[in-house]
Amino acid sequence: MNKKSILITGASSGLGYAAARKLATNGFHVLAAVRRRHGVFDKIENIEEIKLDITDEQSVKESFSYIKSRNKVYPLWGVVNNAGICIPGPLELLRPSELRRQLDTNVTGHLLVTQFALPFIRSTKGRIINVASGLGNIAVPYLGAYSIAQFAKRAFTDVLRRELRHSGVSVSVVQPGKIYTPIWDKFSTMGQEILDQSVDKKWKLYEKSFKNFLMLNQAEGYSFKLTEDDFAQVILDVLTTNKPATHYYIGDEEKDFVEKSRTLTVSEVDEWFDLQSPTAEEFEKV
């Protein structure tokens, strides 16, 4: 029998990289999608690196022409919509172009890939996995762009699952808790760059609390208990179980976070973030 093929976006590092390796050693043919070829999968059996920028329609088209040409040998059976970026910063100062970039990557890009993949996945009655975050349950200050994208991705997943209800295709969300991957350093660096370039007077208002936020996140990164392999194992489970669930939350902290989004009132959640925003005195000074 031909091996089932799984396309994973954002496979160059972090969670996507770990999942690609895990699936390849467990009987799947993996199409590991990367924006720039760097050969990390060159000598690994059952993984093919393919070039794919999910925000570029031409790139998506070309990847799927390739997938089509190989589909008889490796029928596409699964897609893991994993690629993502995280743009930090207070909403008052977020450039619209940055919000567009965030949404283009974490939402529109996944829609595009899913649209191209669906004719294949429908015919194989395969599986779609969307990788999401708890910030689609509770929106976090200074991660406004990312939170907006995660709420949108949740809606995208729910609608897709309901629309495909009778198609034989399953749609699952995998929501990892905090796992130390390059995304954490990337967003710290981006945050620092934003701070360094901020000459605007309004920045004075946010500077202290935003710096504090970046520092706390960086320090926290080293203490995370979950690993990339925990994520990869869940992806494997979703692709090998007989009947996948709609939602997978990885780690107790993540389960607790999602639970809080259901049980706390909006005011209680607001209070939770009290210390993260500028003080009344700081607002007075502007």
Contact 33, 10 (CB under 8 A): yes
- What is the smallest separation between the CB atom of 76 and ligand NAP, expressed in angstroms? 17
Q: Catalytic one among 17, 74, 142, 146?
A: 146
* 35 part of the interface to ligand NAP, by CB under 6 A: yes
Query: Which two three-digit tokens encode residue 262?
Result: 């259901």
Work out which of 47, 131, 171, 235 binds ligand NAP, going by CB under 6 A: 131
- Total residues at the site for ligand NAP (CB under 6 A)? 28
Residue number with CB closer to ligand NAP (51 or 208): 51
In the annotation, is 146 catalytic?
A: yes
- What is the smallest separation between the CB atom of 174 and ligand NAP, expressed in angstroms? 9
* 5 part of the interface to ligand NAP, by CB under 6 A: no
**Interface characters, 48-87, with ligand NAP (x: CB under 6 A):** ----xxxx--------------------------xxxx--
* 186 part of the interface to ligand NAP, by CB under 6 A: yes
Helices 228-240, 14-24: axis angle to 10 degrees equals: 50
Q: Give the DSSP per-residue string, 174-185.
A: EEE--B-SHHHH
Of residues 70, 60, 78, 69, the one with CA closest to residue 24: 78
Work out which of 176, 244, 251, 278 binds ligand NAP, going by CB under 6 A: 176
* 173 part of the interface to ligand NAP, by CB under 6 A: no
* 179 part of the interface to ligand NAP, by CB under 6 A: yes
Contact 87, 98 (CB under 8 A): yes
Residue number with CB closer to ligand NAP (137 or 205): 137
Residues facing residue 170 across a β-bridge: 127
Cα gap 250→86, rounded to integer Å: 19
Contact 93, 203 (CB under 8 A): yes
List C-alpha distances in Å: 175 to 131, 147, 178, 211, 248: 6, 14, 10, 27, 6
The catalytic residues are 146
Binding site for ligand NAP (CB under 6 A): 9-10, 12-16, 35-36, 52-55, 82-85, 105, 109, 131, 133, 176, 178-179, 181-183, 186
